[in-house]
Each structure stands twice: as structure tokens, then as C-alpha cells.
Amino acid sequence: MILLRCYPKITDWFWSVSGGSIDIRWIPIYSYGFFVACGFIAAAYFITRELRRREALGWMPALKYNKDGSPEWTSELVGDFVIICAIFWYPRF
């Protein structure tokens, strides 16, 4: 029933599974943060694959490029800046 136990650190699980032969418990890799980071990495990987697939099918257009080859982001950045300002600097009465 080793899988039903809760370990505060991943290294404690390695120590328990190996019977004490792998003692790297001094490395602080905490379970919650480790799995949250793994979740973000997996989500970034899958969303990248999905966006590339949709772009290849033509469902989602790619960025427009200027004549010098740089992507045209100015309008997007200005719009994002306005939205962020409206959210965070809106006076709360």
C-alpha cells in the first residue's frame, strides 16, 4: 500500500521505494509544487500542439508580419495594456 501514503517530498518516496538505498532526502523537492509544475509543463505542451494543429487546418490565422520580417504585435500589446490598466487601476469604491 505504498501508493496510498502521502509523502511531503518526492525524495521521501524514492527513499521508501528503494528501501533506504537511495538517500537523497536532503534535496527539497516538495510533492505539491512538483506536481503543480508538472501540470503547467504538460498544459503548455498540449496547448502548443493544439494551436499548431488548428493553425495548420486554417482555423486560426498566424501572426501578420511586417515587411522587415518582425511580427506585428503593437496593436495587441496596446490592447492588453489597456485591459490590464482597466482591471488593476480601476478605483474600487
Give 10-residue mean pLDDT values along the chain (93 residues).
68 80 76 84 92 85 72 71 77 59
pTM value surpassing 0.75: no
For residue 14, count other CB atoms closer than 10 A to its CB: 17
Grid cell of 80 as nine digits: 492588453
The phi and psi torsions of 59 (rounded to 5 degrees) equal -75, -20
For residue 11, count other CB atoms closer than 10 A to its CB: 19
pLDDT of residue 41: 94
pLDDT of residue 1: 47
pLDDT of residue 9: 81
